[in-house]
Amino acid sequence: MDMSFPPDTNLLNHRLRLPNGNVLRNRLAKSSMSETLATYDNHPTRKLVDLYRRWAASGIGLMFTGNVMIDRRALGEPGNVVIEDQADLPILRQWAEAATSQGAALWVQLNHPGKQSPKGLNAGNLSASAIPFREDMSAYFETPREATAGEILDIIQRFGRSAAICKQAGFSGVQIHGAHGYLVSQFLSPHHNHRTDEWGGSPEKRRRFLMAVYAEIRKQVGPDFPVGIKLNSADFQRGGFTEEESMATIVELADAGIDLIEISGGTYEAPAMNGSLQQPQKTSTVAREAYFLEFAEKVRAKVTVPLMVTGGFRTAEGMNAALRSGALDLVGVARLLAIDPDAPAALLRGRDSTQRVRPITTGIKPVDRMGLMEVLWYTRQLKRIAEGGNPRPNESGLMAFLKSLLNTGWGTYRTKRMRA
């Protein structure tokens, strides 16, 4: 394929200075994907080091880790990394250095799953309120109990402590996962948060948990360590988190000094992050590629904090057009890097990857409605890369689901045995 435009006009190659003075070497970022490459007692492994070394070698500017949990009692999946003390500092340092030694920034995505954890994995799940999943998902996810005030304060402290350990290990920053239906998102959403105390009852009170998490992280890492957030533009559920509430949250975060905001959307119950709610797509959306670009334009009119948009980007030209619009500062890619780990090298030369992201389905309607394969199928590809092999872009969705189901069941059993 011929180069679509000269490298010197490729905006992806431009550096980005964050509000705290940190500089990213270019405008291309790897968004978070679940790796589940930890041990079943939640310690990071060499596979994570090797995976991120491979991606960093592609020339990408910024990478976010997959879900790193702040509490071993609250896992999102078997094989999650948990950072709650300094026990794993040696391997964490290797993980960070695998990227930073090659000039890439690597931020740890910190998360608490809340209710969004498969049945049987944890001793019990909590959330802002005891709101069940919709009926067709009840076989996979249990109804959580409402978190107590003491538990909320403990979780806030844990976010801060985990961030401080990440800084000590040499990571380039941290990102709060405030999207996709996990605990921070649950507190923000009136669909999930029915509290009437200081943590709910109004948009301002629903934001209080997030703002307390951010304040605690900032307190423990200081003003010069980058802190970002992944936030839903909306959660696309009736009675849920709206664009208006998202905008108000972004303005408050910007005023508080957040360094980077990644815009996404959806939850397991309404998975807009993989484009499944974008069908049929408007012609303008298809042409502009990014799912959440229109919302980013509205945000840009309100704040100057650097913005990252992830989801839908397909071509170098589409990425450059989005950057030229001024609506965003960083282009986020994720699934493409699971099927083509060297894609950034091509994109930074103005070329498109030879691979194309495709919908992954099983033919099992409840599974496909949840968008589960947008996690499970791609996780399998990441494992292949981490083991020194190559992804299989044409792997069957159904076959991947059945194998993942067996692995998840075995992982849940092993995780529970190790806690016993």
Q: How many CA atoms lie within 13 A of 46 on its CB side?
A: 2
| Domains of the chain by residue range | 7-419
- Give the residue, 86 or 269, on which the prediction is more confident: 86
CATH number listed for the domain at residues 7-419: 3.20.20.70
Instruction: Determine the pLDDT at residue 288.
Output: 61
Dihedral, CA atoms, 136, 140, 142, 148, nearest 10 degrees? -110
Closest CA relative to residue 106, chosen from 117, 97, 114, 118:
97
Q: Does residue 278 carry a pLDDT above 60?
A: no
Give 7-44 pLDDT, tens digit per residue. 668 999 999 999 999 999 999 999 999 999 999 999 99
Q: By the 8 A CB rule, do 21 and 32 touch?
A: no
Token code pair at residue 42:
């939640």
How far apart CA 246 and CA 178 sit, in angstroms, is 11
* 137 pLDDT tier (thresholds 50, 70, 90): confident
Provide the 10 A C-beta neighbour count for residue 98: 23
Residue 21, amino acid: G
How far apart CA 277 and CA 71 sit, in angstroms, is 32
The pLDDT mean for the chain works out to 90
- Ramachandran angles phi, psi of 239, nearest 5°: 75, 20
* 2 pLDDT tier (thresholds 50, 70, 90): very low
What does R_g of the chain's alpha carbons equal in angstroms? 20
Q: In this structure, are strands 23-24 and 16-17 parallel, antiparallel, or unpaired?
A: antiparallel
